[in-house]
Structures are given as structure tokens and as C-alpha cells.
Chains A and B, each alone.
Chain A
């Protein structure tokens, strides 16, 4: 019922779940750029793939495990044609390109040209915000998402938490997990933990036993587990089984707990796109949560009094979307306070002077409701003040890894750019002349 109301409020032209299946907004830029340079369908596709590789979209920008070949082979084209078509269709829907004779000639519309020029002149941030307007006009998805997030949590405003505990995180040793019974034990510990999370974050109680039985039945039906507890499962399927647990409970939380009306993939696409625009934050690396957290960096309201919000969009019912963009001069004290507090909290678990900067970033971003980009900007300013001796604390930032962290963690988490250099770890000395 509530969902219907939400949809009625917006004048969206297409349902949320019909969004095209890609995450990176950069894809739209490289398509527009390719169309600007070439007019034939295949040339555009080749240029798109070349730029995709050059920008390293769809993979970690910082570490590359396999060498790339220069050639655009037919196999490569077949692999990426789906993504290309999805981007092509979405960009056509927004009226940024026109292709009257089905791929033979493709050209930019006037709006498309303007948008491309905007990227060149004002950069990706401004480009993404313009794209946001096209997306919101068509789908109204961000309004739905942000409204859902706002009501997700009583204790931590705006925070949507999708818990995920692997067997390892619940102290199960993979070597000892051999039979169906081991997974049944894991599942009962898992639901205990999930019930605790619901109690803690949402202030309500839920009995997950029935759902758990349903999941186990599904796994037995698909042959991944046996109906006899002592039977061994196929060890090659271990990862598949754990993924089923993860997906099942994430979907359950999304639909049943948070009352989100659409599928997990569309939720992921919209949150990740929102993250690129800077109106939503999503992470799987918050040090105090096992799983994924999502929270809004913007609000939908008639008007704001605070100077720390910028209007990004106006809806037909008079409501506006304001993005939270705190200015440095009013918020510097709060920011430094937040990094110092987060540093000392994290140090309790690390017991060394240096701690992971990405972990600190997640805590500060949530506490202040700021984006990664704002964090980098504020951190750079703080660091420069520190070097100039204008702070009462001292900060060291380094690119090194912490000894106990494996390279795999760094493959997943991209380093943070502070003062034009990549940084991985931070130490703060607040003992001298401090007030904390």
C-alpha cells in the first residue's frame, strides 16, 4: 500500500525494476564519447570496449591480475555486447542519442552533445548529477529508495543494514564442514545472530526459524544438501551453498524487514548509481557491521534551513531532493573530532599505532553522512593543516599495508586519495596539547 502511494507521488515513466542492468555511470559517458567520434554501430562498439578497458570499468582500477591483450576480438565483443546494448538502450531512452536505421548510423542529439560537453568542462561529478535528473524523471527510483532508507531504522537514522555472516565469521572452520548437519548447525547460529541484529537495530523481535526451514528445504530440493543429516555434501559446492544463505537472508531482510518492493539486483543497481552521484552511500566494509549497509546522503523535503544542503532535483508535488554537502569551514572541527574518535575506537581492536584508513573512512562517513569524495576532500584539508602545524593533533598517513591484512582485502577495497597520494593507513597522535 505504502509502495503504491510512493509511486503515485512521482511521475515516473517506467517501473523501477525495468532499469537497465549496469552499475557504472561512466559507461554512459564512454558511449556518448564513442558516438561523438564514430557513427557506425560496430565502430562505436569497438571504441566503447577500448575505453572500457582504458578506464578499467567493471574491475578494480588499481590492481590487475591478468594481462590485457590489445586486440578487440570477436570473443571479447560477444562477452561485452550485453552491457553495451543495455547502455545503448538506456541512453536512447533518455534521448541522448538517435539511431533511426538501427545501428547503421548513430548520432548524438543536442541534449547528448550538451551532456558530453558538460563532462569535458565540469567533470564527472556534474555529468553524473545531470544523468541523475534523466534517471529520476524516468524511474523515480531514488525517491523511492531514499524514502525507504529514511524509515529503515529507528536507532541509526537512515541506515539500512543487510547482515551477512559467512561460516568463517561465525567461527566455523571450513575444513570441519563436511555434512548437511554442519550446515544445519551453522544455519541455527546464523539465525540467532540475525535475530539479535533485528532486535538491536530495529528494536523489534522476529522468529526466523520458519524461514530457516524454508531455506534448508530449498537447498535439499536443489540437491545441494541432503535430507539425511549425516550425508556429506559436495565440497566443490561449498561456496555455492554459502552464497545461497547470503542471498536468501539479504533478500529476506530487504523484502520482509525493510518492506522494499523490488528485487535485490535492482536495489544494488540503484544504490550503486546513487553512490556515484553522491546521494546515497553503500558499503560492505564498515568495520562494525558484517554485511552491507546503505544510507542516504540526501533528503526529500519541501525546503531546508541549513546551508549544508544543495538542491539537486524538484519533484512535481513540490518536494525537492537536497544533497548533503557540508562546507569545510563550518564542519572542520566536527570532522577532526570524528576522525579522532573513530581512530581511538578502531585502535582498541588493532593495538598498533596505524589503523586501516578505509575502515576509519566508513565510520566517519556514516557518522557525518558524507560521501567518499567529501571525506577525501576533508581529509586532505585536515592533513595539510596538520603539516602546517595548525592542528592540536598530529596525523600520519601512509600507503603501506597493515601487516596482518592480506593483499586480497586491498584488491577489493580501493585506496583513498589524500593530498594527491594514495593512502592506506593512518595514525593520529592526540596526546600532545590535546583536549580529548
Chain B
């Protein structure tokens, strides 16, 4: 028989509902592998779905103590710690919190939050697991990588060129007035756009080179490349990346990031940057005592009292995310390097630079599930935002997963998959969870001096005390 007329044995019925349609969902809203990967395009795992209410208090503290404080105040906080007080484990939402914080800062470059006082961008840095980042220079490398990966250099070039163009050409305002920011940044990083509009890139570059913040920079700084050449230069962010990675000496790289780049960012009108270092423990976990001390000393030098521009103006503000064991791990190095005196990691009293990251509660678990569900809810349905989950079910899920955000999402995912496969299940309630408990149990079997112990129970005495039986 011809393949043209043969039919498959399993034919899709025309009225078949999508798998999750019976719950008025376009897809399963929960991630299969609930760990943040900001490069992923799936919004379930890239940190885009984020419920700001959950860690509102932590965010408010960062806002009040860091974002709202003027960057030009010499006493502003240059280093802070986000300490996971109630939970050492992975999956408590710290990475998602940081990525969201970065997005909030970058949205209006912090101008809105600081009421116009600061123009700052944010960088998210996460040392890789496995202990490759042991020294301060290798940490600086990942820091620069994060700058290169973000569009901040491209944006700065666009800002500098825009200001110079406006100054030199009266018709510039008219040409750009209807262009949105994103397109404008791209245009200002394209040589052809300048040619098309009759703007001389050499004249614009010369105007930029005259910026007061750029006068102390060495001639080899990427922005000056081609300054004395015959060809007209057009600098892009890749010139910066190439320059950095072709600089062999680590000391020069550190100087580039903490002095020259700071001047460059200042020239572009920024007065600060927030460096959000996730999973900081991945650095000291693998360091020797000497490496820890060197790391702390170099960090201190770059942030506070070295000969770098950053140490002078306090441009970069670091927020290190620490799990509960880390303060102890680096306490000695911090104290030997003098960091403990400046920004104590184990402060005796509550301090502005220490932000405690709290564990979730039942209320938070409900908010979390509602947020994910709302992203995949089919339109036009006037439903309980938690449907098909009941509140009791969320409490049960929370307790079973010890209120760990990642575990809650994973369990919600598995329950929804189970419920979608069964025609009878209309609601996910505690009894449905109880029926499916087996799928969550792990493999572990239920197997077969300070002289402070002053008060110890005396069994002989206790045995003689009568107590009414309940």
C-alpha cells in the first residue's frame, strides 16, 4: 500500500485537550530542574519568574542601605554580605533573588530607586563549582567576563557617543528623538549609522577623548586605539575584551578593572556599580589559609585603601552571598587582612552591611506557586489563582520539602504531572499528595571543656514523682 494513503494506528482526536488544559494551564508552569540558569531561554529556570513579595524585607534592606545611599558619600557601604541565616542548603531562592535584584537595578540604572542620586548598573557573578577560582586574579577574570557578557561596555560607548554627537551636531536630537533606547544603543555601536547620518566618527571620538575622566588613562586603553592611526577608528566592546585577555600580567588586569574601567564608567555618567557575587563559598571552600588571606588582602586593597581609582571613589559595591558556614570559614583571613575591622563578617551587633536571607513560610510558598501558575494560566479564566492546588496542599508540600524553594517547585511539578495523567483528578489536595507520597521519598532507608552540664536529670528522683496519667 502506498505510504500516501496509509494511516498511523494512533490518531490524534480533533477534540483532544492539551495535557494541562484541564487545569486551565498552557503548560506545566514548574521547572523540572529548579536551579537558576540565567542563560536559559526557559523562563521557568532563568530567574524571570520571580515573586518580589517573598523576600521583600531583604530587598528593602538592600534598597535602604545600599541603593538609596549616595555613591559620592565617602562613607557609603562598599561591601555587604547576604547571609543565609536560616538555611544552608541550595535552592532557597538566593540566585533568583540576585538576578531579580540585578534586573531591578538595571531597569532604570538605579536612578528611580535612588531618586536621581545614583546612576549605577549591576553585575551578577557566580564562581563556578569545582574550585577553579582560588586566587584574586582569577576572581577578577570572572568579574571582567561578567562585564563582557553584559551590555554595559556597549551602553557606555553609546552614551559617550550620543553626548558627543549631540554636542557637535545640532540635528542629532531630531534624528534620534523617535528611536527607543535599545535600538539607539545598537545604532550608536554601528559605524554605518554614523556614515548614513553624516556624523564624522573621528570628530565624535575626539570629543569623547576630551572627557575629563579619561585624561588620566594610559594611551593603550582600548578607547584610544587607533587614535594616532591613519584609519578612522571605531571601537566596540570586543576591543575591551581583547585588550583585557591579551594583557599578560595579573597586576595590570586588576589595575585595568579597578582603575581604568572605573574612569571609563565615570566618563559615561555612572557613579557606581553593584557586583552581586553568588555562591561565594565556592571560592574559600577550595582555598588554603594563605590563599584566603591573600584574597582578603587584595580585596581590601581594591575596595578600600589601594592605589586604585575604585579605592578612592568607591565605585564598585560588592554584595557577597554567603551560606551560613562561610563566615567561620573566612573569619581568620578576614581578621588578619583587616577586613573584619572595616566590614565585620561576624558583627557583634546587627549591622547595615549584613542582610539576613530568611527561609520561606507557608505564605511564601503560596505566593511562589501562584506566581508560576499565573505565568501559564490560560486567558479568560476567573479561577482561584492557586488552582489546581489547594492551600492545604501547598502547606503540605511546604512541610514535605522543608520550605525549600527548589524542592517546593520540584514537588509541585511532579504532582501536576501526576494529576495531568489521571482523568479523575480535578484538584491537588493533601489526600492526593498522601496517595503519591512514595514518589518523593528518597533512597535513604529508615534503618534499623566547657563544664556546662550543670543540670542533669536524676532518674532516681524522677521515678519517685507521681504524675497523673493522661
Residues of A within 8 A of B (CB): 26, 55, 61, 123-124, 150, 156-159, 200, 287-290, 296-299, 301, 304-309, 322, 324, 329-330, 345, 348-354, 363, 366-369, 384, 387-389, 394, 396-398, 400, 402-404, 417, 420-422, 425, 427, 429
Contacts and interface: CB of A to CB of B under 8 A. Distances in A.
Interface stretch (B156-164, B299-307, B395-403): B395-403
A353 to B, nearest CB: 4
B7 interface: no
Interface in B301-345: 324-329, 331
B465 A305 contact: yes
A352 B327 contact: yes
Interface of B: 85-89, 285, 324-329, 331, 346, 359, 361-362, 395, 398-399, 402-403, 441-442, 444, 446-453, 455-467, 469-470
Contact of A429 (B86, B444, B450, B459): B86
Contacts of B329: 403-404
A324 B459 contact: yes
Contacts of A387: 398-399, 402-403
Contacts, number: 138
Contacts of A123: 448
B399 A384 contact: yes
A420 B457 CA distance: 28
B86 A345 contact: no
A298 B459 CA distance: 7
Given A305-B465, A306-B465, A324-B459, A403 B448 contact: no
A429 B446 CA distance: 28
Contacts of B327: 351-352
A330 B361 contact: no
Contacts of B467: 305-307, 330
| 5 interchain residue pairs of minimum CB distance | A305-B466, A352-B328, A157-B458, A387-B399, A304-B463
Contact of B362 (A159, A352, A389, A420): A389
Which of B453, B463, B469 is the most central at the interface, judged by chain A CB atoms within 10 Å of its CB? B453
Contact of A354 (B324, B447, B466): B324
Contact of A349 (B86, B448, B450): B450
Contacts of A299: 459-460, 463
A124 B447 CA distance: 10
Given A157-B457, A307-B469, 11 more contacts: A158-B459, A288-B452, A305-B466, A306-B462, A345-B450, A351-B327, A369-B456, A394-B359, A402-B325, A403-B329, A421-B442
27 contacts: A26-B448, A124-B448, A157-B461, A159-B456, A288-B450, A288-B452, A296-B459, A299-B459, A299-B460, A304-B464, A305-B463, A324-B459, A351-B328, A354-B88, A363-B452, A367-B455, A369-B457, A388-B399, A400-B88, A400-B89, A400-B325, A402-B325, A403-B326, A417-B446, A427-B88, A427-B324, A429-B85
A352 B324 contact: yes
A345 B452 contact: yes
B444 A422 contact: yes
Which of A289, A349, A427 is the most central at the interface, judged by chain B CB atoms within 10 Å of its CB? A427
A429 B84 CA distance: 12
Contacts of B456: 156-159, 366-367, 369
A340 to B, nearest CB: 14
Contact of A351 (B331, B441, B457, B460): B331
A147 to B, nearest CB: 11
Which of B325, B326, B403, B442 is the most central at the interface, judged by chain A CB atoms within 10 Å of its CB? B325
Contacts of A345: 450, 452
A427 B325 CA distance: 11
B67 to A, nearest CB: 26
Nearest to A301: B463
A127 to B, nearest CB: 10
B415 to A, nearest CB: 18
B328 A350 contact: yes
Contacts of B346: 351
A296 B456 CA distance: 12
A296 B359 CA distance: 39
A289 to B, nearest CB: 6
Contacts of A422: 444
